Structure 1
Amino acid sequence: MTATPDVELPNPFSGTGTITNPADGSVAGQVRWTDPADVPRVAAGLRAAQKEWEARGPKGRAKVLARYAVWLGEHRDEIEALLIKETGKSAVDAAQEVPLIIMITSYYIKTMEKALAPESRPASLPFLAIKKVTVHYRPRPVVGIVAPWNYPVANLLMDGIAALAAGCSVLLKPSERTPLTAELLVRGWLDSGAPEVMAIVQGAREAVEAVVDNSDFIQFTGSSATGAKVMERAARRLTPVSLELGGKDPMIVLDDADVDLAAHAAVWGAMFNAGQTCVSVERVYVLESVYDQFVAAVVRDVEKLKTGAGEGYDFGALIDESQVAVTERHVQDALAAGAKVLTGGERPAGSGSFYPPTVLVDVDHSMACMTEETFGPTLPIMKVTSVDEAIRLANDSPYGLSAAVFSSDLERAKAVAVQLDCGAVNINDVISNLMCTTAPMGGWKTSGIGARFGGADGLRKFCRQEAVVAPRTNVGAGGNYYNNSHRALTRMNKLMTRFALIGPRRSAK
């Protein structure tokens, strides 16, 4: 037998590439892939420019960010048109991203000076009052942002704006599926008169590795499996990371819920962006007394939805055939195990990576549609007999990103919410925590580490803390140095112990 000679296959992410619209296969544009060997040079340029950017201070940076927000608003139509070409989104879905980033930018412009101001800390014990303690927030020079394809604007800039506000440079690595919108965003940054503290790297795995290797902080959004690999590589240089990973977000409908509201929310939360949202509703647990009413309302709403790219549609295509395959597999697996499809469930004839909005019932946790992240337009609904069962099933997942609880009794809903193992819970709503920039958005379990947003913490996470301890007076300076007598040191240590024990002795009574 003759051995087959090794053939060196061409690297699809070298030179230039063609990006196509998953809705119809049309050409969205061309991209030049970055040579990973060039990334150290790009990062070095950002690191050099960052020094002047930091020196501008919060007020100076706020003015630049304000001009960029204006640019985003003025070029919104251009950005959204490119989004639709690149992702096959509906116009409704594409319209969500730019306003969100403008809102986030506006929030940080107003709050960044206070959030980043040096912070005085009180003395921990009376005899330490002779020291003045100040904590300074110093930006990390280069923040690498590795973003997925589902929200090409939001996933790059939700954290990118915060990092820039903190005084960092940002190195963007968009998904290789959606590189074009990112280039437009970087062009807009420079066109708005901003300094060269934002740059872009295009490519796939090798590009990600180069960004991780040349950044001082990594913000990654994507799958749990890839997030673990990013964290492992970052650990080689002890580079800190913040990971927003996969989810299988549950929704619980209690027996006193506004059923129509809950159904509307479930359909929008599951189908928005074709279900390709990290915090989409991926499974619903409904108390049996309202189950039939809820399911009927969901089917009614779903049957009104129109699927297609651009204007006049509720949601568009999935990003590619591999994502369609996952969705199809989950539906077929459920049907084979005894589930029923009430609407959808069969891919339409014709071109494009479309999948119809699909409602599944008679589901349970033996089915992939209830345990694995689908990231497609499906809505599996399960009947439960008690609130405790709903909580147990909601928590029966390796994921813990967000959740929703519907009830007319807010206190009852809150009592359920705080028993759910996830980073955020929406009551009588879905996905709305993404708009709450004062609250942290982070996952538990395999849904991530760290959080985006969270008020001042959303800026400070990109900074290193530096404590400056200065004397208030020179009285007693050097009192515990070695040049003092043994008797003086013994007396000092006894006095320190006596003062330190005042609090514990009071608390122990």
Structure 2
Amino acid sequence: MGYIDILNPSTGEMIGSMEEKTKEEVTLAMEQARAAFPSWKELSLSKRLDYMKQLREYLVEHADELVEKIASDTGKVHIEALMSEIFATVDFIRYYEKNADSILKPKKVPTPLVLYGRHSEVQYRPIGVVAIISPWNNPFQLSLVPAITALTAGNTVLLKPSEITPLTSLLIEEILTTVSFPEGVVQVLHGGKKTGKHLIQSRPDKIFFTGSVATGKKIMAAAAEHLIPVHLELGGKDPMIIFADADLERAANAAVWGAFTNAGQSCMSVERLYVEFSVYGAVISRLKEKAEQLRIGNGANDDVGSMTSPRQFKVVQEHIADAVSKGATLLCGGKQLHDDTLHFEPTVLVDVNHSMKIMQEETLGPVIAIMPFSSEEEAVRLANDSVYGLNCSIWTRDTKKAERISRQMEYGNICINDVMINAANPHLPFGGIKQSGFGRYHGPEGLLSFCHSVSVTHSKNSRAKDLNWYPYEQDQLEAIRKILHTLHGKNKKISPKEIKELYEKLMK
């Protein structure tokens, strides 16, 4: 049995340890989840939503103490823990409370005229046991939102949160226990890579993974052995494009927040900034001034908290060193603030190019790199020059220009004169393209992604034989040929009444 140390990244203090789940414990959890699935899926949606309501009310009532614990585990400032972790989670619960019934109810669909005498519908049924493997950068929200969605759809859940934020993992388990979900319906599996491997080997019915591209590829390869469907929410190298006609003050404020909120540790963070050449100087001077004014720490009046992962901290340092060695200039920042914590100065880099890691690989830290451009075509080319395709931002007062450029962007989420906001709207599907992953969650698509779409056709025919059944005869061939030409031939039109009459005539 292994143990995970619990470290406060903003103080460097060791605040405890946690036992990892063994292979035998993961196997037992899977057995319990499978045993709980039949009764949970048969529970009415309204009763499942009662549990979600209890969870929502608990989170609101205990928000302050939850924020305190999440902040000590992640290094976030309190307002960010409240906004991105608690508020976002509660908002999504409320969305599904209001909309799950209309999303999940069977949908009648049209039936072609040639299938006269039948009606069709699509039913949405839960998949089974869903394994959720969540990350450390927003460990509360990115664990609970997919879990809530899967549970609402009628699945049971095995949740493996990140070992880098173990206090939040314990907190989630405590909350779910307090809400008193039925036994086996949702279980938290504490641990690292081995626990995650055991979970995948236990053959869940779906895997929902949020994390790095490298780990996502390994999970997908392991899942392929048993044809387990996989939903991948992976990284980003998200660009922001500022045109000369943009509101430069608003755009600069957005760039600073988009780059440095949560210490830059968001897959949607602004990591690359492209600025039209004529306003390049004006924008970078604004960014430098605003970045240097940010207050670093974990107090009530601080803006930027500490980073969370020591490993990611080293990636940030490596990316900055690589850029500087290749000719980049540090406009501000670039250093660790305290030797014993993970606080890192908000960093602005200029004189960068696409040969640098800072412009190609996910940095996931408080760094923004800026390049000028001279034309729309160049801006689009530079922004799309990435293996990632999660989120982008376009800044211009010209609505037609914004729409024209947005249609060319190779990203799953696009903001116009705004930044990082798509993920906060529960009504919008969220997900990436290219190596940012595939699948969508949030919104109706998110809830349905945890369901099997089952097509059902009802026949009202009372005849012993249908037109296309055995035994085949020459009359059938002629009948089908006639229907083909009548329905789909050139300049042919036929009313429902006429097809009904034709069908009945042919069946005599």
Match of 1:64 among 20, 43, 51: 51
Q: Does 1:431 align with 2:420?
A: yes
Contact kept? 1:93, 1:315, Cα under 8 Å: no
Opposite residue 321 of structure 1, the aligned amino acid is P
**SS in structure 2 of the partner of residue 109 of structure 1:** helix
Match of 2:374 among 372, 385, 409: 385
Contact kept? 2:329, 2:351, Cα under 8 Å: yes
Map 1:98-247 to 2 at 5 A: 98-124=86-112, 126-196=113-183, 197-213=185-201, 214-247=203-236
In structure 1, the residue matched to 2:310 is: 321
Q: Does 1:361 align with 2:347?
A: no
Distance (whole Å) between structure 2 residues aligned to residue 393 and residue 100 of structure 1: 32
**SS in structure 1 of the partner of residue 336 of structure 2:** coil
**SS in structure 2 of the partner of residue 282 of structure 1:** strand
Opposite residue 171 of structure 1, the aligned amino acid is L
Tell me the CA shift for residue 86 of structure 1.
1.3
Opposite residue 170 of structure 1, the aligned amino acid is V
Tell me the CA shift for residue 322 of structure 1.
2.1
Per-residue CA deviations over 1:109-137 (Å, capped at 9, x if unaligned) read: 1111111111112112x131211212111
Tell me the CA shift for residue 387 of structure 1.
1.7
In structure 2, the residue matched to 1:73 is: 60
CA 505–28 in structure 1, closer or farther in 2 if over 3 Å, else same: farther
Tell me the CA shift for residue 505 of structure 1.
6.1
**SS in structure 1 of the partner of residue 25 of structure 2:** helix
Distance (whole Å) between structure 2 residues aligned to residue 319 and residue 311 of structure 1: 18
Tell me the CA shift for residue 460 of structure 1.
0.8
**SS in structure 2 of the partner of residue 138 of structure 1:** strand
Opposite residue 67 of structure 1, the aligned amino acid is Q
Contact kept? 2:4, 2:163, Cα under 8 Å: no
CA 499–131 in structure 1, closer or farther in 2 if over 3 Å, else same: farther
5+ residue gaps, structure 2, are: 494-508
Distance (whole Å) between structure 1 residues aligned to residue 94 and residue 271 of structure 2: 31
**SS in structure 1 of the partner of residue 98 of structure 2:** helix
Distance (whole Å) between structure 2 residues aligned to residue 90 and residue 444 of structure 1: 31
Opposite residue 271 of structure 2, the aligned amino acid is E
Per-residue CA deviations over 1:390-440 (Å, capped at 9, x if unaligned) read: 110001111111000111122211211111111011111111001122222
In structure 1, the residue matched to 2:452 is: 464
Question: 144-153 vs 70-79, which deviates more?
Answer: 70-79
**How many pairs does the alignment contain?**
491
CA 502–48 in structure 1, closer or farther in 2 if over 3 Å, else same: farther
Tell me the CA shift for residue 466 of structure 1.
1.6
Distance (whole Å) between structure 1 residues aligned to residue 121 and residue 401 of structure 2: 43
CA 258–485 in structure 1, closer or farther in 2 if over 3 Å, else same: closer
Distance (whole Å) between structure 1 residues aligned to residue 126 and residue 383 of structure 2: 38
CA 485–353 in structure 1, closer or farther in 2 if over 3 Å, else same: closer
Tell me the CA shift for residue 366 of structure 1.
1.6
Match of 2:27 among 37, 40, 49: 40
Distance (whole Å) between structure 1 residues aligned to residue 487 and residue 230 of structure 2: 37
Q: Does 1:348 align with 2:320?
A: no
Tell me the CA shift for residue 263 of structure 1.
0.5
Opposite residue 51 of structure 2, the aligned amino acid is V
**SS in structure 2 of the partner of residue 231 of structure 1:** helix
**SS in structure 1 of the partner of residue 321 of structure 2:** helix
CA 160–290 in structure 1, closer or farther in 2 if over 3 Å, else same: same
In structure 2, the residue matched to 1:284 is: 273
CA 502–116 in structure 1, closer or farther in 2 if over 3 Å, else same: farther
CA 263–175 in structure 1, closer or farther in 2 if over 3 Å, else same: same
In structure 1, the residue matched to 2:432 is: 443
Map 1:465-480 to 2 at 5 A: 465-475=453-463, 477-480=465-468
Contact kept? 2:263, 2:307, Cα under 8 Å: yes
**SS in structure 2 of the partner of residue 60 of structure 1:** helix
**SS in structure 1 of the partner of residue 215 of structure 2:** helix
Q: Does 1:91 align with 2:78?
A: yes
In structure 2, the residue matched to 1:10 is: none
**SS in structure 1 of the partner of residue 293 of structure 2:** coil
In structure 2, the residue matched to 1:53 is: 40
**SS in structure 2 of the partner of residue 285 of structure 1:** strand
Q: Does 1:401 align with 2:373?
A: no
**SS in structure 2 of the partner of residue 303 of structure 1:** helix
Tell me the CA shift for residue 27 of structure 1.
2.5
Match of 1:29 among 12, 16, 29: 16
Tell me the CA shift for residue 298 of structure 1.
0.9
Distance (whole Å) between structure 2 residues aligned to residue 321 and residue 102 of structure 1: 29
| TM-score, normalised via structure 1 length | 0.92
Contact kept? 1:252, 1:285, Cα under 8 Å: yes
Question: 394-403 vs 46-55, which deviates more?
Answer: 46-55
Distance (whole Å) between structure 1 residues aligned to residue 228 and residue 53 of structure 2: 30
Tell me the CA shift for residue 226 of structure 1.
0.8
CA 474–265 in structure 1, closer or farther in 2 if over 3 Å, else same: same
Opposite residue 149 of structure 2, the aligned amino acid is A
Map 1:252-263 to 2 at 5 A: 252-263=241-252
**SS in structure 1 of the partner of residue 17 of structure 2:** strand
CA 210–495 in structure 1, closer or farther in 2 if over 3 Å, else same: farther
**SS in structure 2 of the partner of residue 186 of structure 1:** helix
Tell me the CA shift for residue 190 of structure 1.
2.8
In structure 1, the residue matched to 2:300 is: 311
Contact kept? 2:4, 2:191, Cα under 8 Å: no
Distance (whole Å) between structure 1 residues aligned to residue 63 and residue 160 of structure 2: 21
Contact kept? 2:162, 2:169, Cα under 8 Å: no
Tell me the CA shift for residue 146 of structure 1.
0.6
| TM-score, normalised via structure 2 length | 0.93
**SS in structure 2 of the partner of residue 95 of structure 1:** helix
In structure 2, the residue matched to 1:334 is: 323
Opposite residue 229 of structure 1, the aligned amino acid is K
In structure 1, the residue matched to 2:254 is: 265
Tell me the CA shift for residue 179 of structure 1.
2.3
Opposite residue 210 of structure 1, the aligned amino acid is H
Tell me the CA shift for residue 194 of structure 1.
2.5
Tell me the CA shift for residue 281 of structure 1.
0.1
Contact kept? 1:79, 1:181, Cα under 8 Å: no
Distance (whole Å) between structure 2 residues aligned to residue 323 and residue 487 of structure 1: 72
Tell me the CA shift for residue 341 of structure 1.
1.1
Contact kept? 2:245, 2:398, Cα under 8 Å: yes
Tell me the C-alpha RMSD between the 2 structures. Answer: 1.9
